[in-house]
Amino acid sequence: MDPTALDEFSTVLKSLTTSLVAYYANSPPGASTTTDSTPAPTVPPRVLPSPSALDSARSYLHHTLPSYKSTSTGPLESITSHLLSLLTAFPSTSTSAHYYGFITGGVTPAALIGDYIASTIDQNVQVHLPKESLATEVEQCALSMLAELLRIPGNFKGRAFTTGATGSNVLGLAAAREALVDARIRQLRSNKIHDDEHVEKDGGISVGELGLLEACHLAGIGKIQILTAGAHSSIPKATSIIGLGRSAIIDISRSDRPWEVDVTQLQEKLNEAKEKGWVSVVVLGMGEVNTGYFPAAGEVEEVMSVTRKFGGVEGGVWVHVDAAFGIFARVFMDESQEDWEAEVGKWANGLELVDSITGDAHKLLNVPYDCGFFFTRDPIYLQHTFINMAPYLSSGSTNPNDIPSPLNIQMENSRRFRALPVYATLAAYGVPGYRNFMRRCILHARAIARYIGTSIDYELLPDQAAEFEDLTSKDALEARLGKTFMVVLFRAKDEKLNEMLKERINETGKMYVSGTVWEGKKAVRCAVGNWRVRGERDGEGGWGVAVDVLEQVARGFEQEKFGN
């Protein structure tokens, strides 16, 4: 850590950049280059590291602090060589079109450049200091462009970048908790039925100030229930974090379509809450985690209509949507060129009506981990929970129209400049670029689903035979494909192969899928989300790789089962 070592840093960085460009281009470090020094095309590396690569890299790891020794190479050159030796031990989550696990997404070239600059300038984006830094203004521009891309109305004034959908769901449930308590307290004041000094005082009573137990006691709220349909696992985690408890969650999903709300159950639970003086947070999903399916057409509007009959937030009901990846269907709203694109755009209708929205940028926006986003109508309910009142962390502004300091509306005081990669990729590609990318993702996923739906070896899930019983098998398959966004759920028809299907696919090294359980049996989840994918069969990023791997796995198992 010698300040005079910048010369060594400059030399090492030039060499490192060449190696990382090769890695990003799917060429192994040290690959041959063309005459213009760009990486030469090579066979793409394994999507997953081989066992030998993992073992080799583990043998290189430092488990204790190394002793300083004078060598012919400087410390930066040594550590760079060491880190590059580990590259083959990581999955190609960003650099391969065929990493289909966990809806991970990739990193666009513009986002990678933004991330590189973000690390170089190393900003802590916590306080709005317009005379000292442009960072918070860049963040607001990025959020505004994101809202434009996803058709989020301008009246969603509470907006923030987070670490991911989990963090955004914490913000959503915390804002809901504050808004519902605040509404009940205002009702008590207006009705003058409460003589507690806290209630009679001007100003708000917040959970953030008094704590959950006292605030709910003063508001006369005996319970905050969370009504969900197909909730992501981060929702129970968020309810635990903000003190509502996982047992507050009540599943109101349809038994035959667990990604949709049973509206009759919703009405019953809201009636019960009204009778008992409870309040409710309704959590909808937009893009079910296993199937990628969306709520039924008009469901969000119907849910909002039901909640309005109970008075909305003033009547004790807040609606939050976890749209981690499903929100990107909205890139097809208004200006889609194909009928099927316009249909996809309708899947996310109604999002503009709800009270708060969660999204993940490190999924289909293809920016580096970690980056989520959150939108709600009024930032005041975020400030109730997350405000930081240290004088040294004040912006000094009293103008209510100024950009709010980020540390006052979300969890972190120390924040990486994760807005810069978002700003870079949105400014570089805009709506046309992202619409084209999403088009490729959907066509890629539907091609894989079509192969599975016609295969003698695999079963496309979920089984919706009853829904399409009046159609021919061909038309039924096309109808199912028409509901596919960018996740394909399937299993092997042979039970023995199905037990090892995920492992057999991943062992090929040509693609990666993640496993799940559907209706009590193992299944495989193939999530298409990398900007490198193509809608055609052939070429790097084409869906033919996945089809060929599935054929290889099925034929290989068949040979094992019946012999040569």
> Does one domain contain both 374 and 407?
yes
User: Domain with 527 in it: what CATH number?
Assistant: 3.90.1150.170
Calculate what percentage of the chain has a pLDDT beyond 90: 73
Instruction: Give the per-residue SS3 of 117-165.
Output: HHHHHCCCCCCCCCCCCCHHHHHHHHHHHHHHHCCCCCCCCEEEEECCH
Q: If pLDDT is split at 50, 70 and 90, which confidence band does 4 have?
A: low
Mean pLDDT of 513-531: 96
pLDDT at 553 over 60: yes
Query: Number of structural domains, the chain?
Result: 2
pLDDT (0 to 100) of residue 191: 79
User: Is residue 2 situated within a structural domain?
Assistant: no
User: Is residue 161 situated within a structural domain?
Assistant: yes
Of 13-27, 300-314, 325-339, 383-397, highest mean pLDDT: 300-314
> Does one domain contain both 381 and 518?
no
> Does one domain contain both 214 and 343?
yes
pLDDT (0 to 100) of residue 197: 57
> Does one domain contain both 314 and 432?
no
Please say which residue of 376, 397, 416 terminates a domain.
416
Q: For 210-227, what is each residue's pLDDT tens digit?
A: 999 999 999 999 999 999
pLDDT (0 to 100) of residue 70: 63
pLDDT (0 to 100) of residue 395: 78
Q: At what angle do helices 263-276 and 299-309 cross, to 10 degrees?
A: 20
User: Is residue 248 situated within a structural domain?
Assistant: yes
DSSP result, 63-107 = SSPPPP---SS-HHHHHHHHHHTTGGGS--TTT-TTB-STT----
Side-chain half-sphere CA neighbours of 46 within 13 A: 17
> Does one domain contain both 348 and 428?
no
pLDDT at 495 over 90: yes
Strand partners, 318: 281
CA–CA separation, 212 and 317 (whole Å): 17
pLDDT at 398 over 90: no
Q: For 258-283, what is each residue's pLDDT tens digit?
A: 899 999 999 999 999 999 999 999 99
- Whether residue 525 contacts residue 99, with contact meaning beta carbons closer than 8 Å, is answered with no
pLDDT (0 to 100) of residue 35: 35
CA 553, 557, 560, 562 dihedral sign is: negative
> Does one domain contain both 327 and 453?
no
Question: Going by C-beta distance under 8 Å and a sequence separation of 6 or more, which residues neighbour residue 127?
Answer: 136, 393, 394, 395, 405, 406, 407
Token digits of residue 285:
């999903």
CA–CA separation, 307 and 280 (whole Å): 10
pLDDT (0 to 100) of residue 228: 96
CA 135, 140, 144, 146 dihedral sign is: positive
Q: If pLDDT is split at 50, 70 and 90, which confidence band does 109 have?
A: very high
> Does one domain contain both 315 and 366?
yes
| CB neighbours of residue 319 within 10 Å | 26
Helix (H) or strand (E) holding 492: strand 487-492
Sheet holding 317-322, edge to edge: 158-162, 372-376, 356-360, 317-322, 279-285, 224-228, 249-251
Of 74-83, 230-239, 486-495, highest mean pLDDT: 486-495
> Does one domain contain both 407 and 285?
yes
> Does one domain contain both 548 and 429?
yes
pLDDT at 154 over 80: yes
pLDDT at 458 over 70: yes
Buried b (16+ CB within 10 A) or exposed e, 398-433: eeeeeebbbbbbbbbeebbbbbbbbbbbbeebebeb
User: Domain with 198 in it: what CATH number?
Assistant: 3.40.640.10
pLDDT (0 to 100) of residue 196: 57
Side-chain half-sphere CA neighbours of 240 within 13 A: 7
Mean pLDDT of 475-493: 94
User: Is residue 378 situated within a structural domain?
Assistant: yes
Q: If pLDDT is split at 50, 70 and 90, which confidence band does 472 have?
A: confident
Mean pLDDT of 297-305: 94
Rounded to a whole number of angstroms, the CA Rg of the chain reads: 26
- Whether residue 445 contacts residue 528, with contact meaning beta carbons closer than 8 Å, is answered with yes
Residues listed for the chain? 564
pLDDT (0 to 100) of residue 193: 59
Kindly list the distances between the CA atom of residue 34 and the CA atoms of 14, 18, 21, 96, 125, in Å, as whole numbers in the listed order. 17, 12, 13, 22, 41
Full residue range of the structural domain in which residue 169 is found: 134-416
Mean pLDDT of 329-341: 86
The rounded mean pLDDT for the chain is: 89
pLDDT at 90 over 50: yes
Lowest mean pLDDT among 96-110, 380-394, 412-426: 380-394
> Does one domain contain both 396 and 430?
no
pLDDT (0 to 100) of residue 390: 82
Please say which residue of 416, 433, 466 terminates a domain.
416
Mean pLDDT of 359-370: 95
Q: For 19-74, what is each residue's pLDDT tens digit?
A: 888 888 875 433 333 333 333 333 346 898 889 989 999 999 999 988 766 666 78
> Does one domain contain both 405 and 480?
no
pLDDT (0 to 100) of residue 105: 87
| Strand intervals (E) in 299-426 | 317-322, 356-360, 372-376
User: Is residue 103 situated within a structural domain?
Assistant: no
pLDDT at 190 over 90: no
> Does one domain contain both 484 and 399?
no
